[in-house]
Amino acid sequence: MEWWKIVGIIIAVLVLFFLGYYFLQENSQKYYQKAKRAHKKGEKAYASGNFELAETSYTLAEEHRKRARELE
């Protein structure tokens, strides 16, 4: 292989590594977003009369908020 192909492969592997690290790392913003989605799901379930699903969603949202506060 030519040297430029090897350099290109190395750069591609490094970019993939950093993208994977960025998307898989834990941070508070990700958990706040998860909490927001779970809370909205709970609101929709409550509005439709599914109180059990609503309570489960609200509990999950609170767990996500708690984890986010721990990461700050």
Residue 51 or residue 22, greater confidence: 51
Task: Output the six-digit token pair for 58.
Answer: 């609200």
pTM flag (> 0.75): no
Residue 25 or residue 44, greater confidence: 44
The pLDDT tens digits for 31-52 are: 999 999 999 999 999 999 999 9
